[in-house]
Amino acid sequence: MGIEITCGECAHKAGRPRNEEVRTKIIEAALELLEEGGYAKVTCDGIAQRAGCGKATIYRWWPNKAAVVINAFAEAVTPELPNEKLDCLRDYVTGHMHRFTKVLMGRNGRILAAVIAGAQDDEEVAEAFLAHWLKPRRAVSRRILGEYQNEG
């Protein structure tokens, strides 16, 4: 059983377009609650209350709590961990490890820990984390590492 995660630029359901300000508030509320109490304590009611919107707004844009949380996680962490080819393999590996270490030591490290902990008890979170974060990043890394190998 997979879940679809949309981000505002992807497939939309019919109806009124997303209000970007409300979407941003929902994402930030999910991150705050995740950081404060871990995945088990996050609820769509809590996200809606903190974001100042109705729960129906969340369910109109995401199918469930796991989708909101993984979408929020990906939006928060991805900019801090660009996965792109650099001039040489050494720069790629060391640069990525330095950025990842920095992420782990900050707010997004706490959020990552909460997502991983949530994935231990919730299959939807585990599937979404693998499908929408880990597997795509691994695929890009494999491609980049293959390019370095072909150059050598």
Q: In this structure, what are the phi and psi dihedrals at residue 62, rounded to the nearest 5 degrees?
A: -135, 145
Q: How far apart are the first and last CA of the chain?
A: 42
CA distance 124 to 93: 31
pLDDT digits (tens, 9 = 90+) for 122-149: 999 999 999 989 999 999 999 999 999 9
* pTM as predicted: 0.80
pLDDT digits (tens, 9 = 90+) for 17-71: 678 999 999 999 999 999 999 999 999 999 999 999 999 999 999 999 999 999 9
